Amino acid sequence: MKRFDTFHPAALLLFYICILLLSMLSMDPVLLLASVCGSISFYCAAAYPRLSARSGLFFCVLFLLVTVTNPLFSHNGVTVLFYLNHQPVTKEAICCGAALGAMLLSVLYWCRTLQIFMTSDKLLYLFGRISPSLGLLLSMCLRFTPVFRRQYQNIHQVQKTLGYGGSDQPLDRIRCHVRSFGILVTWSMEHAIETADSMNGRGYGLGQRTAFSLFCWRLRDTLLTVFCLAATGGILACRAYGALHYYYYPAMTPHIWDAPHVICYSLVWLLMLSPVILEGVETLRWNYCRSAI
Amino acid sequence: MNKKIISCCLILLAAPLIIAMGVWMFQDRRYNLIILALVLVSMIPFFLSFEKRQRPTRRLMLIAVLTALSVASRFLFAEIPFFKPVTSIVIITGIYLGPEAGFLCGSFSALLSNFYFGQGPWTPFQMFVWGLVGFLSGLPSLLKNKDGRRMMEHPAALVLWGGFSGVIYSLVMDVWTTVSADSTFSWARYFSAITLSLPYTIVYGLSNIVFLLLLAKPLGKKLRRVMVKYGI
Amino acid sequence: MELLQIRHISFTYPEQQTPALQDINLTVRRGEFAVMCGASGCGKTTLLRLCKPAIAPHGTRTGDILYNGLSLDDADPQTKACAIGYVGQNPEQQIVTDKVWHELAFGLENMGLPNDVIRRRVSEMAQFLGIQNWFHKNTDQLSGGQKQLLNLASVMVMQPELLILDEPTSQLDPIGAADFIGTLKKLNRDLGLTILLVEHRLEEVIPAADKVILMENGTVLCCDTPGGLGEYLYTNLPEHPLIDSLPSAMRIYHGLKDLSHADTVPLTVRDGRQYLENALGRQQLPENAPADTGKTPGISDKKAPVLELKNVWYRFELVGGNGSGKTTLLNVMCGIYPAYSGSVSYLGKPLRSYKGTLLYRNNMTMLPQDPQLMFVEDSIREDYEATCRVMGRSREETEQEILHMGELLSIAHLLDRHPYDVSGGELQKAALGKLLLLRPRVIFMDEPTKGLDGHSKKILAGQLRQLTAQDITIVMVTHDIEFAAQYGDLCGMLFDGQIISQSPPEDFFSGNSFYTTAANRIGRRYVPRAITCRQVVEQVTAGMSLEEPI
């Protein structure tokens, strides 16, 4: 059980909106570094027993690819390192590429944790808040998808025992898939009517629906919300005072360490690392509690 | 009533608000945020209009079934790379159940299948583009006397629209590729992304055409049968 | 007090000449457990649905249905939705949402109730019906029995006064079905809930029922207590197909009534045993009374057992827990799954040596649990034609074979219908026809009696017997003990991945003490080798007639 899993969907959504907004807001290397560190460490903590080296490698390659390809498109910058095909390759372009790669990397990793924590029922809750009918539609789709997948396996097997699709020819196999899919379509549509009856039987469409959920808004959701809003507001305010305006071209902006910058950076690091800190503290406390029993 | 007015105003305000924010950040050229936000906001009217109208349960059911079918089909045809009937099912839904259903089927297919294939910033783009394809496929059927539907059922129309929707898909998704790799939107990047993804575009278009030709007739027949049998 | 009154209801479906229901009069009292039975197509479902306006069929209706003394047409929709609950046949298809808790709340959400009210009602019902252990699960992970229980619970949260159920256990295995019926009894007893139930499985239901309603051809034939119904059937309609579905105790009693009369008709196994004990006392029936030859004529006349795997040799060793299910075993036997270890041979050669589709043309085939999955085309005839094309038959041959199949299975009138527009029993026949077009020598069947009423089962058994006479081997997995006892030639029990004991049904079931037919459980003290009601009656009668002259 991860701590983040227990937050209210709305609080979670707000957190992720803030985080993603900030990650894409600026090319400032300090901000991007914070976001990358925060997202990757949080992902490792969240997916702990099931980390895959392959996806990690994939993201490294992606990062390098973005870094390397940026100079091919952008020839701005003052510090020319060398010429490729008579086009200058500049230090600024490479750095900018690295920043773009870092932004992409952090966004992707935040999204991966988002996928872990924003489970279908939480998303459903959020949709249900906007519109109960939409929430219901989504829930019905979520219900049918696994049913259809299972039923498709059954159909495919039955078709095999009837002597279809058993041969090794690819065309024959594709034809059998299309055939099975056709059966699935008929089956699903004919049986959907029973589901519709069951809905009508329980009074669907009689009036305004409400959306029930098991989620409760607790103190820690309030805390998370306040923290996110305060941090994001602070960062945006600092931005108005000149922080987070970073340029790579023609030359990279030198870092200034005045008050808005320092406050801004510390807030950014605090916000970006907050999930992993929370998870870590929680795990330690849990282990402590368990050993105390 | 009050709530409705507020929500309408919010939508009307949202687009200019985003652009204004974009202008404010223009110096930074944060196209990625602006485009993402625009895509998200552009879908809200569709979703809200869905809530307003009460529709027969059986119709809602059919939309859900078709959406689930298109999500499931992404798994079922796993054996054959790139050839997926998702877009074709979305198009067929649009043709037979109208633009609104087409949009819902498309956008929810994207949202739900990404639960299994990975959510990311591309999800809104996929939702948008599949929704759009479904919506556009349904527009002709709004014409009187079902002429539009008959027109869309014609194999030539299916081939054209199937291929075209493959192109639309690629073009929109390339926007996301460009913006994500280069948060400033540069046409050079965009065109190179389009050229790089050309083979995929062709495969998408082809698979749409193949599946539309394979599925449109039987699926349409089945849908019509169910719609007649159960009075939808 | 009357809760539901059906007054002179007649109903005709659109574009139909004959009415589906004719002048029905019925009363269901508050707190009553009423069971409705009859052959499929007699109008039970139509009548049930008319009592639930939200899902009432379209057509012309005359007469009136009163609920609580008020016409249903006048009641407001919210009340109708809540007060009358409806649970249908198919557990899978009635579930709307993806989570158990959400499904439970669905009806209450429709009523627009606030969150905390819903929360209380849902938790209350989950607690009462023992759902709390799987409250957070996905609905997709549940077993069939759990799914149906969930359907019941999600209707019960709306606090209905009248619960209408249309064959709720027909798709469940016996354990799930018994649980479900047990829950119904509990609801009836503990909450005083009024229940109107349509059911084929009368063995478990009838003992709990206060009233049994027998319908035929759109009319109510008889509406009486369970004992009264038996009395009525045996005196007026001794050939009625429903007699075969009555509880074994009742059938045995009516078979032996002339020898020994009882004041109350026995309904359960316990009552049946008591009745026999009262009738026979301590006496032992002579060992070698004609008991051994008392087999049903269908089996005893044939010396050579037809279902022996004559040309077929199977050696399956399913080691460990892997693949211990019976459906898995069938799939292994017909080569869909490779055997975990050991080998499966057909005609002396391992299954692996049959390449491509060779194994499934002219050799073996399988009837799936859900025959709907076999049909692709829009009519049964088109499907048959496609099958014949695959088998490489010419046009004339195809026509002839289809004609032949129509006669053989008496489905000629169904050939032009859509496979989803015919009843379960009819579809089963059509599916069998499709299999036979493949000219199989072995047919595997997965639960072929699921969802069939007694009459359809009897017809199915007759057709299977015809097939076995043509040297077609039939291997069937089933939960239906009574069916296996009555018609099987060889029975085996699958447990823990192994076939435990394998013998002719008389030996097999008389050797088991729990996993055996109800008739055997009733009569085993006196006639241990009798496994069907008929055998019990015959053997007891024969034994008594030997005794009495002395």
Give residue C155's pLDDT: 95
| A34 pLDDT tier (thresholds 50, 70, 90) | very high
Dump pLDDT digits (tens) for A204-224.
Answer: 888 788 888 888 899 989 999
Local confidence pLDDT in tens for the 550 residues of chain C: 789 999 999 999 887 888 889 999 999 999 999 999 888 778 888 899 999 888 888 888 899 999 988 888 888 888 888 899 999 988 989 999 989 999 999 999 999 899 999 999 999 999 999 898 999 889 988 888 899 999 999 999 999 999 999 999 888 887 888 889 999 999 999 999 999 999 887 888 888 899 999 998 889 988 999 888 888 888 888 888 888 888 889 999 988 887 778 888 888 889 998 888 888 776 766 654 444 433 333 333 333 333 333 333 333 333 333 334 667 677 777 777 666 556 666 766 666 667 666 777 777 888 888 888 888 888 899 889 888 888 888 888 888 888 888 888 888 888 888 888 888 888 888 999 988 888 888 888 888 888 888 888 888 888 888 888 887 888 888 888 888 888 888 787 776 666 677 778 888 888 777 778 888 888 888 888 888 888 888 888 887 765 554 4
Give residue C35's pLDDT: 94
Does the pLDDT value for residue A288 go beyond 70? yes
Give residue B90's pLDDT: 94
Mean of the pLDDT values across residues A75-101?
85
Give residue C490's pLDDT: 79
Which residues of chain B does A144 touch, with a Cβ-Cβ cutoff of 8 Å? Answer: 64-65, 67-69, 72
Closest chain C C-alpha to B218 CA, distance in angstroms:
9
Residue A133 domain-assigned?
Answer: no
Q: CB A207 to CB C94 under 8 A?
A: no
Give residue B6's pLDDT: 62
Which residues of chain C does A153 touch, with a Cβ-Cβ cutoff of 8 Å? Answer: none
Do residues A16 and A108 both lie within one domain? yes
Does the pLDDT value for residue A273 go beyond 70? yes
Give residue C323's pLDDT: 36
Do residues A25 and A151 both lie within one domain? no
Closest chain B C-alpha to A220 CA, distance in angstroms:
26
Do residues A80 and A193 both lie within one domain? no
Do residues A232 and A149 both lie within one domain? no
Residue A185 domain-assigned?
Answer: yes
Do residues A166 and A243 both lie within one domain? no
Do residues A28 and A171 both lie within one domain? no
According to DSSP, the residues that pair with C344 across neighbouring strands are C314
Q: CB A203 to CB C54 under 8 A?
A: yes
Beta carbons of A8 and A218 less than 8 angstroms apart: yes
The radius of gyration of chain C from alpha carbons, rounded to an integer in Å, stands at 25
Amino acid at B9: C
Residue A208 domain-assigned?
Answer: no
Which residues of chain A does C109 touch, with a Cβ-Cβ cutoff of 8 Å? Answer: 132, 209-212
Do residues A243 and A101 both lie within one domain? yes
Rounded (10°) angle between helices B86-97 and B198-229: 40
Mean of the pLDDT values across residues A28-49?
89
| A271 pLDDT tier (thresholds 50, 70, 90) | very high
Residue A57 domain-assigned?
Answer: yes
The domain total for chain A is 2
- CA proximity to B79, closest of C338, A183, A160, A174: A174
Do residues A150 and A182 both lie within one domain? yes
Domains annotated on chain C, with CATH: 2-245 (3.40.50.300), 255-293+533-547 (no CATH), 306-503 (3.40.50.300)
| Touching subunits for chain C (3+ Cβ pairs under 8 A) | A, B
Residue A134 domain-assigned?
Answer: no
Closest chain B C-alpha to C378 CA, distance in angstroms:
9
pTM of the model: 0.86
Give residue C11's pLDDT: 92
Residue A98 domain-assigned?
Answer: yes
- C247-282 burial, b at 16+ Cβ within 10 Å, e below that, comes to bbbbbbbbbbbeeeeeeebbbbbebbbebbeebbee
Listed as ranges, residues in chain B with pLDDT below 70 are 1-30, 144-148, 182-184
Residue A128 domain-assigned?
Answer: no
Do residues A82 and A112 both lie within one domain? yes
CB atoms within 10 A of CB B59: 16
Residue A209 domain-assigned?
Answer: no
Beta strand spans in chain A (E): 80-84, 87-90
- Interchain CB contacts (distance < 8 Å): A and B: 161
Give residue B108's pLDDT: 93
Mean of the pLDDT values across residues A239-243?
84
| Residues in chain B, total | 232
Do residues A251 and A158 both lie within one domain? no
Higher model confidence: residue A126 or residue B151? A126
**Which residues constitute the domain of residue A40?**
3-123+218-292
Local structure of residue C286 (DSSP, 8 states): P
Final residue of a structural domain among A201, A235, A270: A201
Q: Which of residues 36-55 of A touch C (CB under 8 A)?
A: none
Give residue A86's pLDDT: 83
Do residues A226 and A90 both lie within one domain? yes
Mean of the pLDDT values across residues A74-97?
84
Give residue C94's pLDDT: 92
The C-alpha atoms of residue C233 and residue C251 are separated, in whole angstroms, by: 11
Do residues A7 and A98 both lie within one domain? yes
Dump pLDDT digits (tens) for C54-72.
Answer: 888 888 889 999 998 888 8
